[in-house]
Chain A
C-alpha cells in the first residue's frame, strides 16, 4: 500500500497570503495525484487531478505541482472561502488501491 503523508498538519495563514501545502508518497505515483478541499459538514470537492490540472470551475489561484513522490498545492492569495481541510489522494496502484493523505487544515491566522 502506498502511504501518503501531508505537511504541515495545520497551516495558519492571513487572508490574501500564499499557502503552500505538501504531500508525499511512500513510493512513486507518477502524476497520479489529486487534491480535494473539504469544509466542515461538507463532502470533499475535487480541486486538482493529474497533479497539476485544475478541475472544472476551480479558480486559478489554486495550482498543483510535482511528480513522483513530492507534490505541492499552492493557493496564491487566500480568500475567506478557502479556509478548509485539504487532502491529497494517489491513484497509481494496479489493481486500484486508492489512499488519501491525513489532510492539512488551513485556518485563519
Chain B
C-alpha cells in the first residue's frame, strides 16, 4: 500500500525558506503513471494546490506561488521536496504531499495523501 510521509521543520522564521520532504514508500516515485504534488491548508481554511512534479523533473506550479516555489525529485531516495522562499505568516499551514494520477499524461486528482505537517511561520 502506497504511503507518503512529510518531514521538515515545524517552525520557520519570516523571510526564510520553508523546506519539506515527502518520502514515498510502498511504490516507486519513478512510475510513469503518476505525478507527485504539494497542497497546503491554512488552519481552519480550505485547500490550495502548490505544485506538482513528474519523476523526470517536469514541474507545474500554482501561478500565485510560482515566484517563490521550487519542487524537486530524488528518485534514488524515492522522495520529492518543496522549497518556499520569503515566507510570511500567511504561509502558515498544514502542508500535504500527495500522489496525482496522470490519466492523460498530466496530473489530475490526488490519491493518496500524506498525513500532513504543520508549518508555522513566526519569529
- CB proximity to A under 8 Å, residues B86-123: 96, 98, 101, 106-116
Residues of chain A contacted by B111 (CB below 8 angstroms): 46, 49, 55
Q: Does A96 contact B (CB under 8 A)?
A: yes
Q: A91 and B109: CB pair below 8 A?
A: yes
A44 and B60 contact, CB distance less than 8 A: no
When chains A and B are docked, how far (Å) is the Cα of A89 from the Cα of B108? 10
B110 near A87 with CB under 8 A, answer no
Which secondary structure dominates chain A's binding surface?
loop
- Contact flag A96-B109 (CB < 8 Å), given A44-B47, A87-B46, A103-B46: no
User: Contact between A100 and B46 (Cβ–Cβ < 8 Å)?
Assistant: yes
Please determine whether B108 and A46 come into contact, CB atoms closer than 8 angstroms: no
A45 at the interface (CB under 8 A from B): yes
The interface residues of chain A lying within 8 Å CB-to-CB of B46 are 87, 100-103
Instruction: Please tell me which one of the listed residues B60, B101, B107, B113 contacts residue A43 in the complex, with CB atoms under 8 A apart.
Output: B113
Q: Which residue of B lies closest to A94 (CB)?
A: B106
Q: How large is the interface on A (under 10, 10 to 19, 20 to 34, 35 or more residues)?
A: 20 to 34
Q: Which residues of the partner chain B approach A91 to less than 8 Å between Cβ atoms?
A: 107-109
| Given known A-B contacts A99-B49, A103-B46, A44 and B113 have beta carbons under 8 A apart | yes
Known contacts: A91-B109, A96-B106. The answer to whether A43 contacts B49 by CB under 8 A is: no
Q: Complex: how many Å from CA A23 to CA B102?
A: 23
Question: Residue-by-residue, is A1-31 near B (CB-CB < 8 Å gives 1, otherwise 0)?
Answer: 1000000000000000000000000000000
- Chain B residues in 8 Å Cβ range of A59: none
**Contacting residues, chain B, for A43 (C-beta < 8 A):** 96, 98, 112-116
Q: List 10 A-B contacts (CB under 8 A).
A: A32-B108, A42-B115, A43-B114, A44-B113, A49-B108, A55-B111, A89-B110, A97-B49, A98-B49, A103-B46
Give 20 A-B pairs besides A45-B112, A89-B109 with Cβ atoms closer than 8 angstroms: A1-B63, A34-B108, A34-B110, A43-B113, A44-B47, A44-B96, A46-B109, A46-B110, A46-B111, A49-B101, A49-B109, A55-B111, A89-B47, A89-B110, A94-B106, A96-B60, A96-B106, A97-B60, A100-B46, A101-B46
